[in-house]
Amino acid sequence: MWLCTAARIQESPVPDRFRARGVPVEHAIANTVAAPRAIASLTGRLRHLGPTAVLHTHGERALVWGLAAARIAGVRHVHTLHGWIRNTNRDRQREQVARRLLGQVDAVIAVHEVVAKGIADCHVVPNTIDARRFARGAGDREQIRRHWGLTPGERVYLFLGRLSAEKGADRLAVIQARLQTVSAAARLFVAGNGPLAAGVEAMTDVRLLGERDDPAAILAAADVVLMPSRSEGLPMTALEAAAVGVPLVGFPVGGLKDSGLAFTVRDGDVDALVDAAAALVRDPEGRARTLDRAAAALRDRFSPAAHVAALVPIYGGPA
């Protein structure tokens, strides 16, 4: 296995995570989607690997680079879709372009049926996580909480994700206001970055953690995770929360609805979201039932073994 990450900037936790597992990494940086040097470098690597290589891409930028490089190198190209952002006309135009490009890929994978809608011959393969390996990065919960200056009675409600409208970051002010009425011990922590970061930074009584490369640690230190998203594919945060044993409360959007990984409430009802999260903090038995369901889902539906079994025939192509 060899990993190439396609990005605008160098700062990304992904390469280091793969390097730590012994995977060779080449980080290609480009300010434009059409990046001749990056495509040429990727093409050269694929030619070196030979005609039996499989290029598996994720993300819009990687789709463009990969489509060009795979064609030139003559290797099989598989692309995974995680979802669509549809906030603006530009977003919708980019989706239309991406859908046309997907017709030229050898195989398309979607992380959930919702994402696969309207794409011919699309394979549905859910995200996966090595729960034990991920949980080993959690560290000492109480030590982290002490570092954050928390007292034993305080409760951490965590938002972990991109600070954008599709992730519901614009709802955080309402969430914070509701938390203050629900419990004097409630503390809202926000980890992430994105286009709405300035608005979140202006909020009062919110602990900002920024963009972090230790998701296991901050998840393990939380009492409950909040996911007020407007759209989702199958969010990795849900798998990560289940892996470290912290319940997640969200709206029934995309793959979150039937994943078994989250406690969901009526879509868009922020008060219900906060109330359900507070109830899980107060109710050990309800919390345990929620975590049991999530652990079963990780074991049965989202295990690495199930993921690999689904990918092998896709990588192999037609018999």
Q: What is the pLDDT of residues 262-290, one digit of tens each?
A: 999 999 999 999 999 999 999 999 999 99
Question: Which tens digit of pLDDT belongs to each residue from 251-261?
Answer: 999 889 899 99
Q: What would the pLDDT profile of 285-302 be if each residue is shown by its tens digit? A: 999 999 999 999 999 999
CATH value of 3-128+303-316 in 3.40.50.2300, 3.40.50.2000, 3.30.310.50, 3.60.15.10: 3.40.50.2000
- Share the mean pLDDT of the chain: 89
Domain range summary for the chain, segments of one domain joined by +: 3-128+303-316, 131-300
What is 131-300's CATH topology? Answer: Rossmann fold (3.40.50)
CA atoms of 236 and 192, how far apart (whole Å):
14
Q: Fold match between 3-128+303-316 and 131-300?
A: yes
Angle value at C-alpha 62, between 59 and 64, nearest 5 degrees: 110
pTM value is: 0.87
Q: Where in the chain does DSSP place strands (E)?
A: 3-7, 25-29, 54-58, 76-81, 107-110, 123-124, 155-160, 186-191, 206-210, 224-227, 248-250, 263-264
